[in-house]
A = this chain, B = another copy of it.
Amino acid sequence: MRKTASRSAALDADVIIEAALVIADEEGLDSVSMRRVAAELAVTPMALYYHVEGKEQLVDLMADYSLRALPEIDVAAAWDTELERHFIAFHRLFVAHPAVAEVTSRRPLEGPTATRVGEQILQLLTAAGFGDAEAVAVFVALFNYTVGASLYRLSRHRPLEHRLANVTDEATPISRRLRDRFVVAGAEEQFVDGLRRVIAGYRPR
């Protein structure tokens, strides 16, 4: 049953994207190769190229596909709490799918889903009284903080082999004392606390 379903699934872009996302979530983006995805789908590597331009595009498609899980935005709601709510969702998405955070930090998100989400956030801000330039400034500032905080948290939660290779063991006292605090700084509450402060830095004219 299940076997038949997965085997007989006609090869198309979505099937390829989903298989790639499974690999990325389980083993990291580095393990996503055209050959590996093909093997997972019991197909020749070159079969993928009929549905997808290449690895670069596949990775972009993975990101946009994942963004579909973001909640809808109420453009009529209070801008500050709505932004807080939405960027927390962003953060959770990135933490759940490290590959998406990685792609987001490397390239502008310009797929259909990313575009739609961006539109809604800008509508929310302009409806709240922000001018065009200010709306973009708020959006980008929150986006940057969120991406940075997500990458920070991910970098502290990965297995030790992925950490810096040449750790100095003769760390000075203050860093020893604060070392665990830096790990705590990756917790969601710390992200939310900072997010609120960033939002509070902006007001409609």
Identify the A interface with B (CB < 8 A): 53-54, 56-57, 60-61, 64, 102, 105-112, 115, 118-119, 122-123, 132-133, 135-137, 139-141, 143-149, 151-152, 155-156, 158, 162-168, 171-172, 174-175, 177-178, 181-182, 184-186, 190, 193-194, 197-198, 200-202
Asked whether A136 lies within 8 Å of B198 as measured between CB atoms, the reply is no
Q: Output the least CB separation between A39 and chain B (Å).
A: 23
In the complex, what residues of B have CB within 8 A of residue A107's CB?
A: 155, 158, 162-164
Asked whether B198 lies within 8 Å of A145 as measured between CB atoms, the reply is yes
In the complex, what residues of B have CB within 8 A of residue A133's CB?
A: 181, 184
Asked whether A136 lies within 8 Å of B185 as measured between CB atoms, the reply is yes
Residue among B119, B123, B143, B194 making CB contact with A137, cutoff 8 Å: B194
Q: How far is the CA of A17 from the CA of B64 in the complex (A)?
A: 36
In the complex, what residues of B have CB within 8 A of residue A178's CB?
A: 122, 132, 135-136
